[in-house]
Amino acid sequence: MPAAIVLSHDEQLRRLADGCPEAVPRAVVAGDPCLDQLHAGLAFRAAYRRALGLLPGQRLVVVSSTWGRDSVLGAPGAEVPRRALAELPADEFRVLAAVHPNAWYGHGAWQIRHWLAPLTEAGMLLPAPETETWKAALCAADFLIGDHGSLTMYGTALGIPCVLGAFNDSAVAPDSPMDRLGRLLPRLSRTVPLLPQLLHAARTQPDDPGLAALRQSVSSAPGESARRLRRLFYSRLKLPEPAHPAATRAIPVPSPGPAVPRLPHLPATLVTATVEDEPGGGVTVRIRRFPATAQRTQSRHLADAHLAADPDDPDPRWPRSADVLLVPAERGLLPDEVSGSSLARRFPGCALVAVEEAGHGCTALFGDGTRLRARWAERPAWASFAAAASAAYAWAGSGPVPLRPGARARLTVRAGDHPKAGLVEFTVR
């Protein structure tokens, strides 16, 4: 018989009385120290977001998985996080997978990283199990895709809009808070695009009375767990408590590490781009970029997408099929050298070769010999020479664009619905 049975809520005490009344004298309702820590961490949301590498205006989607075949990662091919990467524009969203330590230690860290390597190489964050990064991620999160694991309950308690990517109803106690969570939260639909499902959760869940009641069921002593637990421990040790107040420990800021592998080449990207005329004569190019390696079919959100790839990508299917070839400045290839180089001969079907220049701009060389320089006049945090190249490709292909030497244009470039736009100056040479 244990010396004490620590519970987080009075509701658990009632269930203990129903199932094992002899244990009730040993029960102590002490609240939930993890939830207290998460609530305290919300004040440091900005610090956690910076540490996780989020750019201003990006939204973080946490994909939480417990262990077992019925978890989010139990589906073949890690379908839920793959789908998040495939459908959510990379300039506007980051995806982080919080995997339960039991899965890490059951399969081994090497195996988990090997299974998920295609996703981490496409930009997914994968914190190590021995860290508290998952707590910092919840404080930083904008959306949560969960299952019947406790992290989903914590995210719901914090008010994070949540969709269930998996849920094993038989694994939770009937009429428990987790059982109610499974009935209240929407299940991820395979036939509806992911982003509308997340946005619907964000619109409807804050005012949902059932979820409001559920949030109160996680702890019946919010903010008091450290005090109650210390009192319990010292009483069992028969020692006087320290004079200073018991305090909740802060969640550490995640340390920089190999959360996302840095590949020596630029990742292949599928880019949707639309050119929109503005009132008054201005032009906006709106681009959305998605990792090509995460795609499985030409989905609806990729209609009329063009492929941008690194000519030195070791996977030959990407540069061979690319509409836009991206040459980083570190390769040492000057724009004047492209037309006569082996690059043009190796990929004759490419429509545009973009060579990076200072300030994240580029020189874009079209197949007919036209040369266009793209320079960021106003550069938001998400901007890159690859984004400028895709904007140039879209603009040149949008209609009767005057690509004659000396022509100039100043365009607004947007990364989907990102709140910060950029300005690019195009000069034809």
pLDDT in tens for each of the 429 residues of the chain? Answer: 788 999 999 988 988 898 899 999 999 999 999 999 999 999 999 999 999 999 999 999 999 999 999 999 987 778 999 999 999 999 999 999 999 999 999 999 999 999 999 999 999 999 999 999 999 999 999 999 999 999 999 999 999 999 999 999 999 988 899 999 999 999 999 999 999 999 999 999 999 999 999 999 999 999 999 999 999 999 999 999 999 999 999 999 998 765 667 889 999 999 999 999 888 778 999 999 999 999 986 567 788 899 999 999 999 999 999 999 999 999 887 777 776 566 767 888 889 999 999 889 999 998 888 889 999 999 999 999 999 999 999 998 887 666 778 888 899 999 999 999 999 999 988
Q: Which amino acid is at 391?
A: A
Q: Please report how many Cα atoms fall inside a 13 Å half-sphere around the Cα of residue 341, on the Cβ side.
A: 14
**Sheet strands side by side (includes 93-99):** 93-99, 59-65, 143-146, 162-164
| Cα Rg of the chain, angstroms | 26
pLDDT in tens, 387-428: 999 999 999 888 766 677 888 889 999 999 999 999 999 998
> Tokens for 198?
């997340």
What integer pLDDT is reported at residue 26 of this predicted model?
92
What integer pLDDT is reported at residue 257 of this predicted model?
60
What integer pLDDT is reported at residue 123 of this predicted model?
93
Phi, psi values for residue 52, rounded to 5°: -80, 0
What integer pLDDT is reported at residue 401 of this predicted model?
62
Q: Which amino acid is at 48?
A: Y
Distance CA 216, CA 40 (A): 17
Q: Which residues pair with 143 in a beta bridge?
A: 61
3-state secondary structure of 270: strand
SS3 content of the chain, % helix, strand, coil (to 5): 40, 20, 40
pLDDT in tens, 133-175: 999 999 999 999 999 999 999 999 999 999 999 999 999 988 8
Determine the Cα angle at 170 with ends 167 and 173, to 5°: 100
What integer pLDDT is reported at residue 339 of this predicted model?
64
Spatial contact of 147 and 165, defined as CB atoms under 8 Å apart = yes
CB atoms closer than 10 angstroms to residue 117: 13
